[in-house]
Amino acid sequence: MFIKEQGYFKRFETDGTLDWSFPSDYINCALLNDYQRLVPRNYGGSEYIRWSEYHEYLNSYEIEQEYVEYSEELAKQLKWMEDYIHFDRPSFKYDFISSRGAYQAIKIAATGFRGITPALAYNGYYECIESMGYDLAWLKELDGVYFEIWRRVTQGMSFKDALAEVCHLNRFPLHQHRMERALEFDEAMEEMEEEFRICTAAITPEVKEDKARELIAGAVKELLDDTPKSYEQYIIKKMHIARVVGILPDKRIEDSQE
């Protein structure tokens, strides 16, 4: 308490040197181990979707490691839901698909991940759907939109004219509304043009179209870095910190590196 009161580590907390903390409430709880007490920093107050909930779960290392594996399995086995995630909500169609997906998620947890409670299973399912919805709404087809615009801009068209032509093609339904809105409102146009500039910044004049498409797709994926992170990502960051500061037994460190 003396060290805390004197503020000896205040500079490390404010300049970002310490990427984690042991909240005092957790330090005083003898039932928790150091891994459970460790809380990754929430940069900007919005780095994670529900940071205040994540650090209160207080799950063990074993359960959180299993949760990461469970989340990875969900992403693979629930990929079929991408074709239905755009359905209107609430609606009979979406409710039916969502119920089917939730049932599958619970079954995956019950048969392959015995440490995952029903609450964690549902959390993993809903965060998987949230991530899938974001990917579809903002990223899927976006590389195609900017690639087609890039092709026209390199031929001398303005960004606005290129966007209008691509919009008229009606080949990217997930972004059709956004393109139409950009053509109608200057602020939306500026936002898309800035995003286009970022996604094509690495393309030099000698780059061929196949490589340009690849570079644009890679840049589009990087846009995900600005979105709030899930519990799975929170755990991955927490495990990394735990390894670095040495609060995991050696066997666990070796297992996590295999």
Q: Residue 19: left (phi > 0), alpha (psi -120 to 50), or beta?
A: alpha
Q: What is the pLDDT of residues 182-191, one digit of tens each?
A: 999 999 999 9
Residue 142: name the closest of 184, 84, 182, 109 by CA. 182
Q: What is the pLDDT of residues 201-219, one digit of tens each?
A: 999 999 999 999 999 989 9
**Mean pLDDT calculated for residue range 100-127:** 96
**Mean pLDDT calculated for residue range 15-37:** 86
Q: Tokens standing for 43? A: 């940069």
Share the mean pLDDT of the chain.
88
pLDDT at residue 123 is higher than 60: yes
pLDDT at residue 12 is higher than 50: no
pTM over 0.95: no
61 contacts 236 by C-beta, under 8 angstroms: no
pLDDT value at residue 213: 93
| Neighbour count for residue 196 (Cβ, 10 Å) | 21
pLDDT value at residue 1: 45
Q: Tokens standing for 239? A: 């495990």
Q: Tokens standing for 183? A: 């053509």
132 contacts 88 by C-beta, under 8 angstroms: no
